[in-house]
Structure 1
Amino acid sequence: MGSQKLIQDQQQIEAILKEAKFIRLAFSDPETNDPYIVPLSFGYKDNAIYLHGSPKGKKIDIIRKNSKVCFEADIETEVMPSDDPCKYNVRYRSVIGKGKAQIVEDPGEKIEGLTVLSEHYGKKRPFEFDEKKVKKVAVIKIKIEKMTGKEYGF
């Protein structure tokens, strides 16, 4: 097994994001200074992450006040046990990034975000989205400002 190392190749970082099933998205409420983190399904394309969900709730409220977010995704995680409990370790590949979240209002851009999400989970184009449902769902786009990758155990 190897040691922890930084992944600097952008294609490898993007490959981790494309394989990951979920991200953990972190926010900070500027009014209370409280952190908030939530696991979410997502899609990734062109240095942006797309999310969808209810147009009401804590994450929407916080984004409206503070668009800065941080995210994490990981793949190939596995506990590596040892006879010595102090030598347990975890094998993984991960990406951590930060960016600015925006609530998408444009119907065409909302459909693009929903398409990216659907493709991430294996659906193939063409898609037909019900206009009424598109209007009712919130689509969030995170413009990634920086992301780094790490791996351990490979």
Structure 2
Amino acid sequence: MLGELNKREIIDLLESQTIGRLGCHAGGETYIVPVSYVYSENAVYAHSGEGKKVTMMRESPKVCFQVDAIASSSSWKSVILWGTFEELSGEERQQAMQGIIRRIMPISDRPLGGPSHGIDPAKYDRLVVYKIHITEGTGRFESHGEPDETAVP
């Protein structure tokens, strides 16, 4: 069965995952890259070093973001969001970074003290911390069981 996710199911999927794909477009070029993220209050929070995606988002802040959970080719959930990039600073930047660290580090397979997910403690102050304000979203699923069996790990 194919179907649409409702708003609660979309939020549940966003909250259950930590890796999404960020799509941006600037200067006639489209770029899609996986990023670690945290979802909270209708926004996606992430960080990056300076580079192509940050340059593109600064030039053209309209982006899309995709998250999925796939158990098999016939059992999956997928969400795509559209929104606007905003670079964070001050207290909001600090709070977002702490949220990212609290969400990502417990599931990291890296030893403590080493750089992980682009977070090199020596370069922490140079990280770009950003938020995607979600303006629109949609979700789909496929399942071949009972409706309550659409849960994907």
Do the two structures share a fold, i.e. TM-score over 0.5?
Answer: yes
State how many pairs are aligned: 130
| Shift in alpha-carbon separation, 1:78–1:98, aligned structure 2, 3 A | same
What is the one-letter code of the residue matched to 2:136?
Answer: K
Which residue of the other structure, out of 85, 96, 100, is the alignment partner of 1:101? 85
Deviations 1:48-89 (A, max 9, x none): 1111121x20011101110000011011x133xxxxxxxxx4
Unaligned runs of 5+ in 2: 107-120, 144-149
8 A contact 1:94–1:149 mirrored in 2:
yes
What is the one-letter code of the residue matched to 1:25?
Answer: L
What is the one-letter code of the residue matched to 2:133?
Answer: K
Deviations 1:75-105 (A, max 9, x none): 1x133xxxxxxxxx4320111110000111x
Per the normalisation by structure 1, the TM-score is 0.77
Question: Which residue does the alignment assign to 1:41?
Answer: 36
8 A contact 2:10–2:79 mirrored in 1:
yes
Which aligned runs of 4 or more in structure 1 are off by greater than 3 angstroms?
131-134
Structure 2 CA distance for aligned equivalents of residues 90 and 62 of structure 1: 35
Once superposed, what is the RMSD of the aligned Cα atoms?
Answer: 1.8
Per the normalisation by structure 2, the TM-score is 0.78
Question: Is 1:143 the counterpart of 2:133 in the alignment?
Answer: yes
More displaced stretch, 134-143 vs 57-66: 134-143
Q: Note the C-alpha offset of 1:107.
A: 1.7
Unaligned runs of 5+ in 1: 80-88, 124-130
